[in-house]
Amino acid sequence: MKKVILLGIIGCFASFTFAYATPTTLIWAPSTDIQPYKKVHVGADIYVPTTGKGTNADNYDQHLYVLQVYGPTFSLLSDKPEDNLLGKIWSPLGKIMAETGFDYKKGLGSFYDSNPWYFHFKFGAAEDAYFKNMPAFAMGVYDVGTKSHRTNNDIWYGRIAKTINMGQVSLGRLSGGYFTGNGRLLRGKDGLRDNSGPMFAWERTMSEISDKLWVCVDYQGTQSSYGAINYGLAWKFTNNVSAILAYDIYNNRNLTDTVTLQLDIDF
């Protein structure tokens, strides 16, 4: 375990060479958050199986592989039109932000590791961007692989999120959405396509304890390897360094649970 954690940390600092990133996520699924303008987000994620069992899901045999994920996410648009290259041309939609990145994944087995590059893109707007009480929203795609019929999972999604308050007390942020992917690749435990489903999450900064502590429950549907419920927490060490620890329970119970360790650095 110490070696795995060390590899994740080293991978994070080496990400500009290896280059991997997921879209800005909660624990598991994409969130409505988008990287701030002129910022580069670098992440290192590892998923450690808790047992040795495994089965076929999305044509992937999950045994004792440790999945490693590295790379950057780049902001593309600011919610301030004057900051963007398009300037006044973009101003009618000036609250829209966007991000993109490309992925390097390792640990899925030689069949997949031979084509380790994936891409993603997202655009959206924050809460109250255009009117009071407006929910945040995001639309995008991720895990766009480079090998047809092998890694082109192509997960398209839409999501909205809203912070719920009771007086001066925050009850956290609720979000929900829907996703669909490549039906040729996303399969359930019965081998039939299972490529579309809901996404739900609750998250909250535990300011009663510390503004640095964040907790979340994150769910994504289907019996494919994307389907899971995830429980986790994050700690913000500095303004630009944080870490997540989570437990992942897959909807397909023939797949072993995993522990997520994630390190995030912003530049």
What is the pLDDT at residue 80?
75
pLDDT in tens, 153-172: 999 999 999 999 999 899 99
What's residue 52's pLDDT? 66
Give me the pLDDT at residue 118, please.
96
Contacts of 186 (CB under 8 A, 6+ apart): 58, 153, 193, 194, 195, 222, 224, 225, 226
Are 144 and 115 in contact by the 8 Å Cβ rule? The answer is: no
We find that the CATH architecture of domain 2-266 is Beta Barrel (2.40)
Question: Can you give the pTM of this predicted structure?
Answer: 0.85
What b/e readout covers 25-35, taking b as 16+ CB neighbours within 10 angstroms? Answer: bbbbbbbbbbb
Which 8-state DSSP code applies to residue 39? Answer: -
- Cα distances (Å, whole numbers) of residue 3 to 66, 103, 168: 11, 22, 44
Contacts of 204 (CB under 8 A, 6+ apart): 170, 171, 172, 173, 214, 215, 216
- Reported in sequence order, the residue ranges of 14-116 that DSSP labels E, i.e. its strands, are 40-49, 56-57, 60-61, 67-77, 97-106
Cα 230 to chain centroid distance, Å, stands at 12
Confidence category of residue 122, pLDDT binned at 50, 70, 90:
very high
